[in-house]
Amino acid sequence: EAQVTQNPRYLITVTGKKLTVTCSQNMNHEYMSWYRQDPGLGLRQIYYSMNVEVTDKGDVPEGYKVSRKEKRNFPLILESPSPNQTSLYFCASSSPLTYEQYFGPGTRLTVT
């Protein structure tokens, strides 16, 4: 089954404690991206990757890092989380042929 998986689904952490949210896809897609969803703001892109070892900033990259060492994985790293990063995070992947994005189930992060 074609899917994008994210872990963990829920996370409560404290300010400053480094965390990683994993994302993996099994569709051999070149393009992967991370979004955050906040009420009234829709989805905003954090980072995206066009292929292995190629990453670029989206609209709201501050406070986040990513890496793309393998085609299937695209982890999101928060080196020093702050309360304003409390949000719902989605990973997505797509083929450059169709641009149709497949989304993971989401990770709800709370930073206290």
Contact residues for another protein, defined by CB under 8 A = 4, 31, 33, 35, 40-45, 48, 50, 56, 90, 92, 96, 99-106
Q: Which residue has the tokens 């085609």?
A: 71
- Single-letter code of the amino acid located at 33: S
* Nearer to another protein (CB atom), residue 56 or residue 79: 56
Smallest separation, CB 79 to another protein (Å): 25
| Shortest distance (Å) from residue 16 CB to another protein | 29
Q: Which is nearer to another protein, 37 or 82 (CB)?
A: 37
Give whichever of 63 and 106 is closer to another protein, judged by the CB atom: 106
Closest approach, Cβ 14 to another protein, in A, equals: 25
Cite the beta strand spans of 1-112 per DSSP E: 4-7, 10-13, 19-25, 31-38, 42-51, 54-57, 65-66, 76-78, 87-94, 101-103, 107-111
Nearest residue to 95 (alpha-carbon basis) of 1, 23, 4, 15: 4
